[in-house]
Amino acid sequence: PWLDWGIARPAGPVGGGFAMPIYWGNNGGRLIAFDVTDAAAPKFLSDVNLAKNAWWNFSPAYTVNGLVFLSHEAVEAFPPVVTDGKDTNSPPVDYWVQRWYLDVVDYADAANPAVRKPVNIPGSLKGVAHAGELLYTVGQHWTNGTNWWWDGTEYLDASAYDGVEAHLIDSLKLSSYWPHPVLVNNDDVFVGHPSETTTVKNLLETWTLSSAGKFTQLSRTELSGGAQNFATFGDLLAAQIENQVSLFNVTDPTAPALLVTSDPPGCVWFDLNKADGALDRALWLPLGVYGVSIISLPATP
């Protein structure tokens, strides 16, 4: 697999005296752990490489209670289907299927991490909640399971994970228009809904999974354009809209409050995935060789 330059840290908190594993570029399947009790002298602990089985398209890594969650895709030969020759809807004898799998690595013993058996899930992992017992994924569904046809629509799926298997709870159909980013933030899920007609606004939607196991919409907030990417920094939500960033206070997910919309100076691009900030401070946007752009937040009344 192709590798990007640089190293990124997995999403989620770090603690317990050692740094949670990092993942490498687009590969994403390699996790390296260090003991950083002494920050001046990091100590190598372990190296887990999940990308040895022709697995690809690893998701970002999410950390919860010493566990690292991520997903990958794999293409597998499907076993032949035996028919009586009269079934006109049977698949070809030799064909391949593409599946997504959940990978979980247990770092209770960081020097000897335990890799759990991959679990089939409905799509690429977008986040976890409830201490890792709730999974959020995005992927396509069969539109017609009889003739193996689909229309390309993506779905946000919530699944329960018991450590051995994943069980689908509910699904939310995403817009057929692009982009429609999804960001999981604890019990809330932020979804970008682009304008589908000239009379409909671009929206930031907030959803949650109810106690009844159903996706429930908490809010709809108008955006100045279609959101391309989201990032959260505590209760500060950043929405990238072309070369602008809109910042929201999402302390109350039922009523996200727009704080400011800004863009970096000049004709430069930023990487929201590498930004940092806080609701009571500001947002720092890296501009590569051009430095950093700071988006100040208005004073709290």
Could you report the per-residue pLDDT of 94-128, keeping only the tens digit for each? 677 889 999 999 999 999 999 999 999 999 999 99
With contact defined as beta carbons under 8 Å apart, do 10 and 21 qualify?
A: yes
Does 145 fall in a domain? Answer: yes
Domain tally, the chain: 1
Supply the pLDDT for residue 223: 97
Q: Is residue 276 part of a domain?
A: no
Range of the domain at 164: 18-174
In a domain, 52, yes or no: yes
Whether residue 131 lies inside any domain: the answer is yes
pLDDT at residue number 235: 97
Within-domain flag for 100: yes
- pLDDT tens-digit series, residues 178-192: 999 999 999 999 999
Is residue 156, in this structure, part of any structural domain at all?
A: yes
Question: What pLDDT is attached to residue 142?
Answer: 76
Q: Rounded to two decimals, what is the model's pTM?
A: 0.85
Q: Which residues of the chain carry a pLDDT beneath 50?
A: 1-26
- Name the helix (H) or strand (E) containing 185: strand 182-185
Q: What is the pLDDT of residue 157?
A: 98
Q: Which pLDDT value is given to residue 1?
A: 29
Q: Is there a domain that residue 76 lies in?
A: yes
pLDDT for position 211: 96
| Structural domain contains residue 33 | yes
Give pLDDT, residue 110: 96
* DSSP string across 14-76: --TTEEEEEB-TTT--EEEEEE-SSTTS-EEEEEEE-TTSS-B-PPPPEEETTEEEEEEEEEE
Distances (CA, A) of 204 to 15, 52, 271: 32, 38, 20
